[in-house]
Structure 1
Amino acid sequence: MSRANDIQVSDKSSETGNSRWYIYPVALYGYLTPLLKGECHVRPETGLHPRNRHQHRYDLAALCQTTPELTSFLTRTPAGEQSVDFANPQAVKALNKALLAHFYAVTHWDIPQGFLCPPVPGRADYIHHLADLLGETTGSIPAQATILDVGVGANCIYPLIGVHEYGWRFTGSEVSDAAMSSAQAIIQANAGLSRAIRLRRQKDPAAIFTGIIHKNESFDATLCNPPFHDSAAAARAGSERKRRNLGQNKDDALNFGGQQQELWCEGGEVAFIKKMIAESQAFRRQVLWFTTLVSRGENLPPLYRALTEAGAVKVVKKEMAQGQKQSRFIAWTFMDDDQRRRFITRKR
């Protein structure tokens, strides 16, 4: 599923009189084009969750100090301002590496060519809003929550953020051997993560929870960034639009454009989430909250109907915003208020 990346603009340091360069965490490719053309130099409202570490400007100099390789990807906008070359996928990857190291203590992070390079601020927002949801039952965010990440991906992004921010424990499922190997390499390369993150291979590509959630096992929540497109052709068209917006050549667009399982599935996002809803019924007493991102608001009505048919007791929609980009996730549970409190009491 095509996603956006952070955007950089410049600011002047009044304390030193020197130019300082910052990255604004606006997760929106559409907003990127005027910035690269030097047409926009004001800080947009981020709209991020209050606990999101990317509320404010990133000090580009500090990020380069954390990750020196980012320095080689600095460039100048047509207006003469220093920036990161967002049309270069390797530059975006280096930026993400710097963000994860600087803000989340991830000292070693890499992804293979061809896999999606995730925008860190938007991924962090999902984690923080999920934390709020988990805290609603008892009034406090659980410190030892267990989370299932459906499709953990080669980047392992949600577990990396969730472990650092809340001390949660993650299980990540994955259908791709290459993605699983990449995620495992990240876990093993960073001290302490192997105790907090475990991976499970989904042997049945048509299944979501089946074969992953074991008998007598329970999770506080599941999360998922589902494939968006309904065909390979639609995924290619989406990638082409993104490539044109960023001024990339075709080879660059393929570098971190995403694998098939990341970008599309038969029936697209709605069909995937409907399958998730149907499967969730079998694990109604093992999972407190099932959640998933929903890319478009118009996809919600058929999903709400599916949740009603499945017998969901409570359904929640959490709206999120990153700059001008709107996103959301939906959450559903098969437990009433008393059952949710008892579930939490047993787990703690």
Structure 2
Amino acid sequence: MSFNQLMHPRNIYRVKPNYLQLGEKYPSFKELLTFYKNGKAKLNFTDPQALRLLTITLLDNDFSLKVDLPIDRLIPAVPQRLNYVLWVEDLLSLLDLNPNENVNGIDIGTGACCIFPLLGCTTNKSWTFIATEADEVSYKFAVENILTNQLSHRIKVIKVTPEIFLLHLPGIPQLEAHFLMCNPPFFNDRTHDDCSLGSESGDEELGSDEGSSKSLRKRKPSPANLSSPLESVTSGGEVDFVKKIIEDSLILKESIKIYTVMLGHKKSSSILSQHLKNISDVKDVVVNQFFQGRTMRWGLAWTFLENLKLSESIKITETRRLNKKKIAPLTYTIPKNLTTINYSLSSIYRWIRHLLRDELEITTVDIIRESNHSVEMTIRSQRDTWSHQRRRKRIGLKEEEMELDDNTVGSPQGAVSQIDDSLYDSAEVCEIEDNNRFGKRKADDSIDEEFSIDDSKKIRDQRQVKSIVKEEELYLLHCSLIIKKTEEGFICLEMRTKDTAKSKDSTNQLLQFFKNNFI
């Protein structure tokens, strides 16, 4: 299943925008486009101005919304925000509202674009909004955007202080609404790089996320998308921010029929959903996933209404997740007639690590479990280095031969050196180099030696190793790999594609790469 198919079924961006057509319609957008040799248009997603114009262009082209955005404030991702609005529509459908009934919404921290109220009121003619904003610059832009689109009779923007959430809103003596929306600040004020969340302005295929993730190092939000501290940082992170909303909801209760927030961390959704389930007055809680580009967001909803089953709302990934559990893993039994390495778990594990690190330049490999009989790891990459390897090697060998020919003209010593090198095939040379890198340890049948486990201690079966996995991102390749020894003495590879992979093709290609290197 292609990535776009994981968006909400009604999200128009399941079909990718045509940048070339948008450029013809919007000259200012066209000025920022560059082109591949095949004529396909591309955008520089490290440029804040490009992200700003992308959002402005999509809102105008697809929703007839005219907005202005400051370059130093958060640039909202239109596909992502639309996912959230569509999910709210699904939740509201559970209320059995009268078709002519006005639907009132609240948006906490609406931002400079005021995108949730604008999208909501444009796609739903019965919706009205109260939107709050604490940042002075964002407030002024939000008000202007509402006036420009002639929606001031349906959207009211209120200037608040940062400590005001739902209670004591200026000019609102009694707050009542059908739903609440909020995209809280992601980060804790103690550190501004808690987790990699990708760019806020769309996704790579629609209009891109942050670039690839090449290591386990924690990173700051994309420099291509600037934001004010009020938009991105809050004491205690998004968990504490949402807990304050929950506190207010315990006072308002049924005054707001459905409370929702959009979160940037999967862990936050787990913590907050459990927190809500521990509150007896809360009748139902549901968590949903939003997919866009390489990033994911999590929707959290709760209600105080009896007999309202929020879990019946559309959950985009549920079917996909259940189907994945039924799919058998990709397997490969390594033949015993290997000539370049010993047929042992430790030797094969080391050879695979060498292939990943040195041949494919994949450094994001997390060891999950290891024992005397198996090793389990996860592999992630945003760059394709595994397909067409044989062709790449042929090209590389030809280039080396040309260099050697140039260096050996008129040089007998050079010729001898070339003959000496030919005594080893490329796989043997790699194995020798890898042995040197590991301190010339002998690759035998002892897994203890390979993993450097103290001889005085017993190997703990299924030893847990902490793995830092950025589940918020989608990867070109994300799979698990188990190297295990069977009762018959064979060593097998078992691979499964993870949910955060864009497709299963990369896993298949990587397995084929392993096969080619064991033949």
TM-score (norm 1): 0.75
Partners in 1 of 2:44 and 2:105 — Cα distance? 35
Q: Which residues in structure 2 correspond to 1:233-312 (within 5 Å)? A: 233-235=191-193, 256-310=225-279, 311-312=281-282
Correspondent of 1:127 among 58, 76, 85:
85
Going from structure 1 to structure 2, the CA distance change for 1:212 and 1:46 (only over 3 Å counts) comes to farther
From the CA coordinates, give the structure whose radius of gyration is larger.
Answer: 2
Task: Give the aligned partner of residue 85 of structure 1.
Answer: 44
Out of 20, 29, 53, which is 2:12 matched to?
A: 53
Counterpart Cα distance in 2 of 1:126 and 1:244 = 23
Matched, 1:208 2:151: no
CA separation of 1:255 and 1:47: change in aligned 2, threshold 3 A:
closer
Counterparts of 1:123 and 1:240, CA distance in 2: 15
Give the conservation status (yes or no) of the 8 Å contact 1:143–1:166.
Answer: no
Task: Provide the identity percentage.
Answer: 25
Q: 1:64 aligns with which of 23, 44, 49?
A: 23
RMSD of Structure 2 on Structure 1 (CA) = 3.0
For residues 80 and 43 of structure 1, the distance between their equivalents in structure 2, rounded to whole angstroms, comes to 23
Distance in 2 separating the partners of 1:298 and 1:324: 18
Specify the alignment match of 2:300 in structure 1: 330
TM-score (norm 2): 0.51
Correspondence for 2:108: 150
**Residues 180 and 260, structure 2, Cα contact 8 Å, conserved in 1:** yes
1:100 Cα deviation after fit: 0.3
Q: Is the 8 A contact 1:219 1:287 kept in 2?
A: yes
Output one character per residue of 1:143-181: Cα deviation in whole Å (capped at 9) or x when no partner: 631110000001111111111111211111011111100
| Structure 1 residue 68 displacement after superposition | 2.0
Q: Which runs of 5+ in 1 are unaligned?
A: 1-41, 247-252, 341-348
Instruction: Give runs of aligned pairs for residues 219-238 of structure 1, distance below 5 A.
Output: 219-231=177-189, 233-235=191-193
Aligned twin of 1:39: none
Pairing 1:21-32 to 2, within 5 Å after superposition? none
| C-alpha distance 280-111 of structure 1, shift in aligned 2 (>3 A) | same
Q: Distance in 1 between matches of 2:303 and 2:19?
A: 42
SS of the aligned residue for 2:12 comes to: coil
Contact 2:74-2:228 at 8 Å conserved across structures: yes
- 8 Å CA contact 1:202, 1:211 repeated in 2: no
- Letter of the structure 1 residue corresponding to residue 156 of structure 2: R
Q: Tell me the matched-pair count.
A: 290
Q: Are 2:148 and 1:178 equivalent residues in the alignment?
A: no
Alpha-carbon shift at residue 121 of structure 1 (Å): 0.3
Where 1:332 maps in the other structure, the secondary structure is: strand
Corresponding residue of 2:285: 315
Q: Tell me whether 170-179 or 44-53 shows the greater mean CA deviation.
A: 44-53
Q: CA deviation at 1:326?
A: 2.6
Pairing 1:137–2:95 present:
yes
**Per-residue displacement from partner, 1:243-301 (whole Å, max 9, x unpaired)?**
7759xxxxxx6674111011111110111111111111111131001110122222233
Structure 1 residue 54, shift from structure 2 partner: 1.1
Show the counterpart of 1:18: none
Equivalent-residue separation in structure 2 for 1:141 and 1:59 (angstroms) = 35
Correspondence for 1:8: none
Do the aligned partners of 2:188 and 2:194 also contact (CA within 8 Å) in 1? no
Match of 1:188 among 147, 171, 185: 147
Q: Which has the higher contact order (CA 8 A, sep 6+)?
A: 1
> 2:187 aligns to what SS in structure 1?
coil
Closer/same/farther in 2, CA of residues 137 and 322 from structure 1, 3 Å limit: same
Q: Distance in 2 between matches of 1:304 and 1:95?
A: 34
SS in 2 for 1:100: helix
* 1:166-223 deviation line (CA, Å, top 9, x unaligned): 1211111011111100101111112x311221101113x2231122283333111000
* Contact 1:46–1:322, Cα closer than 8 Å, also in 2: no
Shift of 1:328: 1.8
Question: What amino acid sits opposite 1:306 in the alignment?
Answer: H
1:186 is matched by which residue type in structure 2? N
Instruction: Provide the C-alpha distance between the structure 1 equivalents of 2:287 and 2:2, rounded to a whole number of angstroms.
Output: 28
Rate the CA distance shift 1:51–1:240 in 2: closer, same or farther, 3 A.
closer
Q: Counterpart of 2:331? A: none
| CA distance, structure 1, for counterparts of residue 198 and residue 130 of structure 2 | 33
> 5+ residue gaps in structure 2?
200-208, 214-221, 311-519
Q: CA deviation at 1:238?
A: 5.5
